[in-house]
Structure 1
Amino acid sequence: MTANSATGTPSWLGAVNDRAGLAVLLDHGPLTRNRICELVGVSKPTASQMMSRLLAAGCIEERGTTSGSAGRSAVVYAARTDRPLGVALDLDAFELRASVVDATGADRPVIRIELPRDPTERSAVEEVSRAIAEASAAAGTDPAVVHSICVGIPGYVDPGPTGELFSETLPGWPVRGLKSILEEELARSVYVENDVNLAAVSEREHGAGADSDVFALLWLGNGVGASFDVAGDLHRGSFGGAGEIGFLPVPVDAHALDPSARTSQDLVGGRAVALLARHHGLDVHGYHAARAALAAADAEAARRAVFHDLAERVAWVALPLLATLDPGRLVLAGPTAGLGGDAFADEVGRAIRRISRWYPDVVATRVPGDAVLRGARIVLAGRVREELLDTVASVSLA
């Protein structure tokens, strides 16, 4: 019998029902049999059979009782989300952040691991392995049931046969075959994604992109990057490098803003923020120190001056995005944009209208905390959920 010939048989219908029953428990939380009947659209006997099979397979559990009609108690069923699991990671040159992900995407503790400054002490396999172990310990879960990993990186991996890694902040990591090396050494499915793309996923799900058909996200931090979301789909490009705008040369008309700048990274990245902070009276060296100083309560005047000067620079950097995608909304995200907030977004919008023909809605990020890690969690939760539901179907058909 071929796989397709099973369609319509009792076992196939049972598998479809079981998958639907588990899906509503994942979506809605603990439910009674009657409520499952309503949501899935099956009879009470069918629902009872579904729950029996799912209980036997270890996919659900009884979670107490609730009062029903005529004083009768009804059993409450809940999905078991302790397996399979995933681990989402986000890292930069200095720190790795990670958390366990289940099929519901529920919040779990976030662990932080300081990374070695010496490139000879760096190892992709060791760092990801440690993240799995420590995230699992923080969540109180078994690392052995972690089947998949999503790694958000400051750079991208070419999807071609060599799987070449393009990143300046991951010393010691393999420059070729990163995904296959991690999968072979860790014996788990691995998804490697650009950090700015993951921030856009988070913005689409929880932030400023939620109600926009097409938006571009401009990431402003120590590094500079962009992401393109078209109706919920990310455009990564043929070689995975869409949005790598930090290497673009500074437009001729923008040179007057900083004659020493050669690239977009020079014009609006961490170096630029630090120089502007010093120009406006803050005794700081380096981007992280500048950010901390600008965030201080007594630095309002300097902060306002820095972001006023930065706004026109960002407008020039945004023009290639606007000319390519012509989005209705431009989302400013990343540490610098988060510090500038709505007032900075308004200034950038005015600068864009002043120097160009475009007039997108320019808004600050609406995602609190680590947008990259949130995006990795969203991506991974969907994959963990599908693995769990596929397991149910395979058990039902056995």
Structure 2
Amino acid sequence: MPASPSTARAINDRLALRLLQREGPLTAGQLKQLTGLSRPTVADLVERLALSGLITVVGESGEQRRGPNARLYGIVADRAHLAALDVRTESVTVTVTDLLGRERAEACAPIGGDTGTGDAVEQAVTLVERAAKEAGAERLHTVAIGAPGLIDPVTGELRDSTGLPEWHRRLVAALQQRLPRAAVIVENETNLAALAEQRDGAARGRDTFVLLWLGHGTGAAVVLDGALRRGASGGTGEIGFLPVPGTGGLPSATDCTGGFHSLAGAAAVAQLARAHGLTGAPAAELVRRAATGDAAASDAFLDALADRVALGAASVVAVLDPGCLVLGGEVGQAGGEALAARVADRVQRMSPLPLEVRPGALGGGAVLRGALITARDRAQDDLFAPAGRSGGEHRAG
């Protein structure tokens, strides 16, 4: 059944806007060439998008004669401002960008473990408001939050998780209350890191892979056939609870001590480094020094760390056969190719399934980058709807 004229216009508009977002300013002739649409159709959509305030003339092409055909059209970047948050156990980082993802403001604040829930929420919300003001944003269209813990696949809300601060869960509601016109989205931090690595980092070009997060905690994000898999309860990738040898115990339903976390979390990695004579820095820095040969006993330490990481990696491979494993987080990025090659070698000895192991390209910054991508995609889906139906008045839990 052929598309109706209004549906066809909506499809053409979105195609043109995506091209402008990806390629930058284009002339009507370039849009015609890239879309395959007729000249009259392109002229109509350019006029329609300009009238809706989504695009504007930003210059002229030097390769064409002056005049209408030389006009360069670009997306009105200030049509919407976005906020991305990386919420950690004792800190929050926020960046505010325009619709094209260009950073306008960034701020970070520690939130001590002894801070009360109400005070912690107020500190975080105030940080977002201050960054928005610094960015010159009259309002925020979309706010995307990356946080540890499980996201309910039905409601999209952060579930109550033992060991995580209560202010994490309260933050979403507080932002929705203080920013009633903004869409507020929350997503697991490891899932956002995987999205960022797939879009801009080590997993670019892969539609099936697993990101193994190695940082303060451990986690995994599973992407199969281009789709992020969350599981029935949102718990896919809770690899910190995976029972493994060498921990001296077993994890429980409320505590991952005794699981993979006890081998590969930052505290365990730092302890392993000390056993090899490496001290005086956080776990990620000790791993970086070892990986670059700037530390005594570096090979022995990396071998021992790879032995541990391979236990979790081999379990992932046996169940999912992802073909590609990205070592994400601060520790995964710090280990670089030296750690990735060691892990790949050990998994290949344990599994008949092929596996490529890559170091993460974005490290701890992947969470914030993934939150920004999520916010931008959400805003563009809203604003790049058919002319006259854009807005941004919808909220997500």
Bin for the TM-score computed over the shorter chain: 0.7 to 0.9
1:298–1:357: structure 2 CA closer, same or farther, 3 Å change rule? closer
1:289–1:36: structure 2 CA closer, same or farther, 3 Å change rule? closer
- Do the aligned residues in 1 keep the contact of 2:288 with 2:335 (CA within 8 Å)? no
Match of 2:382 among 369, 380, 387: 387
For the residues of structure 2 that align with 1:67 and 1:354, how far apart are their CA atoms?
Answer: 58
Aligned partner of 2:395 in structure 1 is: none
Query: Greater shift after overlay, 102-111 or 182-191?
Result: 102-111
1:305–1:111: structure 2 CA closer, same or farther, 3 Å change rule? farther
Aligned partner of 1:231 in structure 2 is: 225
Structure with the bigger percentage of helix: 1
Deviations 1:5-51 (A, max 9, x none): xx745x66655554444443323322223333333445545544443
Q: How far 1:348 sits from its partner (Å)?
A: 1.3
Aligned partner of 1:153 in structure 2 is: 147
- Corresponding position: 1:31 with 2:26: yes
Instruction: Report the TM-score when normalising by structure 2.
Output: 0.82
For the residues of structure 1 that align with 2:34 and 2:27, how far apart are their CA atoms?
Answer: 11
Aligned partner of 2:88 in structure 1 is: 92
1:387–1:128: structure 2 CA closer, same or farther, 3 Å change rule? farther
For the residues of structure 2 that align with 1:291 and 1:14, how far apart are their CA atoms?
Answer: 51
Aligned partner of 1:186 in structure 2 is: 179
- Do the aligned residues in 1 keep the contact of 2:90 with 2:110 (CA within 8 Å)? yes
Q: How far 1:234 sits from its partner (Å)?
A: 0.8
Query: Greater shift after overlay, 12-21 or 91-100?
Result: 12-21
Match of 1:362 among 335, 357, 363: 357
Say which SS state the counterpart of residue 325 (structure 2) adopts.
Answer: strand
Deviations 1:184-241 (A, max 9, x none): 4431212111111111111211223223342111111120111111122111111111
- Do the aligned residues in 2 keep the contact of 1:294 with 1:300 (CA within 8 Å)? no
Query: Greater shift after overlay, 55-64 or 338-347?
Result: 55-64
Match of 2:214 among 216, 220, 234: 220
For the residues of structure 2 that align with 1:64 and 1:85, how far apart are their CA atoms?
Answer: 23
1:171–1:71: structure 2 CA closer, same or farther, 3 Å change rule? closer
- Corresponding position: 1:372 with 2:375: no
Equivalent residue letter for 2:324: R
Contiguous gaps of at least 5 residues in structure 1: 1-6
Equivalent residue letter for 1:211: G
For the residues of structure 2 that align with 1:33 and 1:294, how far apart are their CA atoms?
Answer: 51
- Do the aligned residues in 1 keep the contact of 2:318 with 2:351 (CA within 8 Å)? no
1:16–1:213: structure 2 CA closer, same or farther, 3 Å change rule? closer
Equivalent residue letter for 1:33: A
For the residues of structure 1 that align with 2:273 and 2:236, how far apart are their CA atoms?
Answer: 31
1:255–1:26: structure 2 CA closer, same or farther, 3 Å change rule? closer
- Do the aligned residues in 1 keep the contact of 2:90 with 2:113 (CA within 8 Å)? yes
Query: Greater shift after overlay, 181-190 or 225-234?
Result: 181-190
Contiguous gaps of at least 5 residues in structure 2: 251-256, 391-397
Instruction: Report the TM-score when normalising by structure 1.
Output: 0.82
User: Within 5 Å, which residues of 2 pair with 1:224-373?
Assistant: 224-251=218-245, 254-255=246-247, 262-284=258-280, 289-293=282-286, 295=288, 299-367=294-362, 370-373=365-368
Q: How far 1:257 sits from its partner (Å)?
A: 12
For the residues of structure 2 that align with 1:49 and 1:378, how far apart are their CA atoms?
Answer: 30
* % identity of equivalent residues: 34
Q: How far 1:124 sits from its partner (Å)?
A: 6.5
User: Within 5 Å, which residues of 2 pair with 1:135-214?
Assistant: 135-138=131-134, 140-144=135-139, 146-160=140-154, 164-166=159-161, 168-174=163-169, 179=172, 182-187=175-180, 188-214=182-208
RMSD of equivalent CA atoms: 3.3
Equivalent residue letter for 2:369: R
